[in-house]
Amino acid sequence: MDKFVIRGGNPLVGTIRVSGAKNSALPCMAAAILTEEDVTLENIPQVRDIDTERRLLVSMGAEVKLGDRLLPHSTTISFRTLTLPEAKYEIVKTMRASSLVLGPLVARAGMARVAMPGGCAIGGRPIDLHIRGLEKMGATIVQEHGYLEARATRLKGAHLVFDKITVTGTEDLLMAAVLAHGETVMQNCAREPEVTDLAALLILMGAKIEGAGTSTIHVQGVTSLHGARYRINPDRIEAGTFLVAGAITAGDLTVADCNPEHLRTVIAKIEEAGATVDILGPYAVRVRSDGNLKAADISTEEYPGFPTDMQAQFMALATQAEGVSKITENIFENRFMHVQELVRMGANIKVDGRTATVRGAARLSAAAVMCSDLRASASLVLAALVAEGESILDRVYHMDRGYERFEEKLQGVGAQIQRMGNVFKTRNGEAAAD
């Protein structure tokens, strides 16, 4: 099992580049189910979840072609024949995004058998909102033996109101609606950039969608979609993680190939914590810090609020900030599992329900710690970058689900971080963490 060995104390200096957004790429790959023609996606990150999604689509009958050395982050998906509308448990058990194929499978094939999603243990992500929406669109759904089975001759347009904002629910039902008969109106939708990324691809494929990026989306169903070529947006969470890395290490770091507009709330909090942030243009942000950080409170919210996927990283920053920071997690009920590991490194953190109180300016010391989920892993890397001594992070396969060559990118800007363990080869033949 792979580990990271990190020696803290080096400020990060230089330029670090952001990969494509995993959470955009996954629904966009699922959208290829909706057409018999080729869908080519560019700027696909080479991470574990993407490889799992490729294997899932191939198991259903897709032909998946990866880019060459000149375009290593390109993937072409061809679903000329949908031989098996099923998401098998043995493939999707490590990935939350398996539910994203439910809507497009029913829309195209009239049926779907999808294993209940797995992935990080950060709290419940109920799929009942997906089910209720599809039922309102005319599908019959039963759950047994760990699978959802859905059937519909053809989905029909409906008025859908989400009880709570859900990103994957919005994406799944959006894909179902584009081939449904008539108009679908979706209210209380997620407004995340990943939703607008998916909608932009679907529109290129011939879908009729209005309002993506707002709380109300109108979809006029069409009888078929065609192929398209689309470039995935940069990963705003990876970009935010690197901005925190620059601030926490008293560095001078330029984060390139990102979208600053997607980072406004994160940038605002990093500035509130005492770092200097400059937007260098439409694709780059510079962060500088002299190490004199100060406390700042955060409360996670749906976009455009502070993202839950940045909560753990900001908590690591708060351990180095003078004063007391209050961090409130409103999205997931079990997303403080990194706290005990930060405390092992010397952090002063108390948790009361959904709020963590961080007393900052802690002197962190190296320790052996355990990664519990994707973003918790990132927070431990950030803490280790400023801890005295050599830390060992176990179970870094969680990081490999969503960060592409994370340690290599950090090495390039001065971090003392090494991977210990085996590697597997991506289908491009290049080394990637296993």
Catalytic residue positions, numbered: 120
Q: Do 372 and 308 form a contact (C-beta atoms < 8 A)?
A: no
CA distance 232 to 245: 24
- Give every CB contact of residue 314 below 8 A, 6+ residues apart in sequence: 244, 269, 298, 306, 327
Partners of residue 40 on adjacent β-strands? 76, 229
Helix (H/G/I), strand (E/B), else coil: 310? helix
Alpha carbon distances (Å) from 165 to 129, 162, 213, 303, 331? 10, 6, 13, 10, 10
Partners of residue 135 on adjacent β-strands? none
CA distance 77 to 83: 14
Vertex 107: Cα angle to 85 and 120 (nearest 5): 60
Torsional sign, CA 323, 329, 334, 338:
negative
Structure tokens belonging to residue 273: 């914590």
Helices (H), 32-153: 48-59, 89-92, 102-109, 128-136
CA distance 299 to 176: 33
Structure tokens belonging to residue 269: 């909090």
Helix (H/G/I), strand (E/B), else coil: 255? strand
